Amino acid sequence: MKTLLVTGSSGLIGSEVCLQFNRLGYRIHGVDNNQRAVFFGPQGDTRWNQKRLGSAIPQFQHHELDIRDRIGLLGLIRQVRPSAIIHTAAQPSHDRAAAIPFDDFDTNAVGTMNLLEAARQGCPESPFVHMSTNKVYGDAPNRIPLDELPTRWDYADLAYSEGIAEDFPIDQSKHSLFGASKLAADIMVQEYGRYFSLPTCCLRGGCLTGPNHSGVELHGFLSYLAKCNLLGREYKIFGYKGKQVRDNIHSEDVARFMACFCEAPRCGAVYNLGGGKQNSCSILEAFEMVESFSGQKQQYIYCDENRAGDHICYYSDLRKMKSDYPNWDITISLRETIGQIVDAWKGRI
Ligand SMILES: NC(=O)c1ccc[n+]([C@@H]2O[C@H](COP(=O)([O-])OP(=O)(O)OC[C@H]3O[C@@H](n4cnc5c(N)ncnc54)[C@H](O)[C@@H]3O)[C@@H](O)[C@H]2O)c1
C-alpha cells in the first residue's frame, strides 16, 4: 500500500491533501502540532480539523511533531518510508512574521530543510511537494503598470494578460520576512531537485482557500472576510482602495494538482498555483459575493495605509501547470467556493 506523509495536516491544504490521497488509496500519516494556534491564538486552532480527519479517514495516523525537530522528523521518515511527501506546514502570514522572525524562519526555512534532508536520507525516490507562495516575487509585481477599473486594479501591460508566470524575477524587491523565509525554502526545494535529482516541486500559491480554513485577520482573507460578514464584524481594508486583486483557488483543486504531480513527478519543478484570472476578485468584489450568499451587508472600515509589501494586483498564469499536466484544471469556481465558505462558517460559529 502506498503511504503519504503530510506536514501541516490539520491546516487548510494539509487536511484536503489527506482526504484526496486517502481516496486514491494511500495510507495517510499527518504531522501537525497545532502551531497555528500559537501563531494566531485560539481563533487559529486547527484541532477541530485534526478530529475531522480522524473520523473521515480509517487508519489516519496523526504525529504530534514540530517540523523544527530535525531528529524527530528523520526518525519518522525512516520509520514510515513514505511513497510521497507533501509539505504544507508553515508560519503562513506575511504580517505575523515581523513579530516572530526566528519562529518564522525556523519553521519556514529550517523546517523545510529538515524535511528535505530527512527525505534525501530516508526516501530519495519519493515525490516531494512543497507549498510555496507568490510572496517569493516580493512586491515586484507592483511595478507592472495598472489600469484602475471601477471595482479592481488590472494589469495594463498585455504581457501579463494571463497573469504572472514562473520566470518573474524573485529578488531586489520587498518580500516581508515571511516572503524571504519562504523564498529560502523554495530555492532549497529546487536545489534538492537539481543537485540531488530528488523529484521535488514548489507550488507558489496565490490565495488558497476553502470551507476548512481557520481564517484569521492575518491569514486566509476570504475565510476571515466571510466570518466577519456573518458575525456583523467590521472587516478592515488596508489601502489600495479595496481594489487589490487576489486569485483564489479551492483547496480541492490544489490537492488534485499535487496528486497529478505525484503520479508523474519531475525534478526541481516550479509552478504558480492560484485561481488564475477567472477566479480572481478584489476585496470590494469579494464583499458583494459574500453578501449575495449571506444576505447581510458587509461592515468594513478603510485604513489608508497598505500592508508592507502587499500586492496591488496578482493573479497566476496557469499555462505551465496546464501544459505539463493537461488532465488538471480548475474545477471549482470562485462563486461556488465562496458559497461553501459561507455555509461552513454558518455551521462553525
Ligand atoms: N492559504 C493561503 O492563502 C496560502 C497562500 C500561499 C501559500 N500558502 C502556503 O500553503 C501552505 C499551507 O497553508 P494553509 O493555508 O493550509 O495554512 P494553515 O495554517 O491552515 O496550515 C498549516 C498547518 O501547519 C501547522 N504547523 C505550523 N507550524 C508547524 C510546525 N512547526 N510543526 C508542525 N506543524 C506546524 C499548523 O498548525 C497548521 O495546521 C503554507 O506553506 C503556506 O505558506 C498558503
Instruction: Give me the residue label for grid cell 495510507.
Output: 27
The contacts of residue 132 (CB under 8 Å, 6+ apart) are 182, 185, 186, 189, 202, 203, 204, 205, 270
Q: Is 92 in the pocket of ligand 1 (CB under 6 A)?
A: yes
* Sheet of 207-209, strands arranged across: 207-209, 245-250, 280-282
Task: Find out whether the beta carbon of 67 lies less than 6 Å from any atom of ligand 1.
Answer: yes
Question: What spacing in Å lies between the alpha carbon of 92 and ligand 1's midpoint?
Answer: 5
Amino acid type, 49:
N
Residue 77's pLDDT is 98
On whether the CB atoms of residues 341 and 210 are closer than 8 A, the answer is yes
Ligand 1 near 111 CB (within 6 A): yes
**What does DSSP say about strands 146-148 and 235-238: parallel, antiparallel, or unpaired?**
unpaired
pLDDT of residue 27 exceeding 90, the answer is yes
Q: What are phi and psi of 203, to 5 degrees?
A: -110, 110
The sign of the torsion formed by the CA atoms of 275, 277, 281, 282 equals: positive
Q: Is the pTM of this model over 0.85?
A: yes
**CA–centroid distance, residue 132 to ligand 1 (Å):** 10
Q: Encode pLDDT of 218-267 as tens digits.
A: 889 999 999 999 999 999 999 999 999 999 999 999 999 999 999 999 99
Mean pLDDT of 328-349: 96
pLDDT tens across 306-322, in order?
Answer: 998 899 999 999 999 99
Share above pLDDT 90 across residues of the chain, in percent, rounded to a whole number: 97
Residue-wise pLDDT for 261-293, tens only, equals 999 999 999 999 999 999 999 999 999 999 999
C-alpha cell at position 162: 494571463
Verify whether ligand 1 is closer than 6 Å to residue 176 (CB atom): no
Q: What is the pLDDT of residue 349?
A: 85
Q: Which atom of ligand 1 is nearest to the CA of 66?
A: 32
- For 128-177, write each residue's pLDDT tens digit: 999 999 999 999 999 999 999 999 999 999 999 999 999 999 999 999 99
Output the pLDDT for position 214.
84
Q: What is the pLDDT of residue 347?
A: 93
Is the per-residue pLDDT at 7 higher than 90? Answer: yes
Q: Does the C-beta of 66 come closer than 6 Å to ligand 1? A: yes
Whole-number Å distance, alpha carbon 90 to ligand 1 midpoint, is 4
- Grid cell digits, residue 111: 523546517
Contact assessment for residue 53 and residue 18, using Cβ atoms and an 8 Å cutoff: yes
Give the separation between CA 326 and CA 279, rounded to whole angstroms.
19
Considering only CA atoms, which residue is closest to atom 18 of ligand 1?
11
Pocket test for ligand 1, best of 19, 29, 133 (most atoms within 8 A of CB): 133
274 close to 134: Cβ distance less than 8 angstroms: yes
Distance between CA atoms of residues 136 and 100, nearest Å? 19
For residue 145, report the distance from its CA to the centre of ligand 1, in Å.
32
**33-80: pLDDT as tens digits:** 999 999 999 999 999 999 999 999 999 999 999 999 999 999 999 999
289 lines ligand 1 (CB under 6 A): no
Cα–Cα dist 349/251, whole Å? 21
| Distance between first and last Cα of the chain | 39
Between the alpha carbon of residue 304 and those of residues 149, 236, 286, 312, 341, the distances in Å are 19, 10, 19, 13, 28
Which of 9, 34, 36 is the best mutation target for the ligand 1 pocket, counting ligand atoms within 8 Å of the beta carbon and taking the most? 36
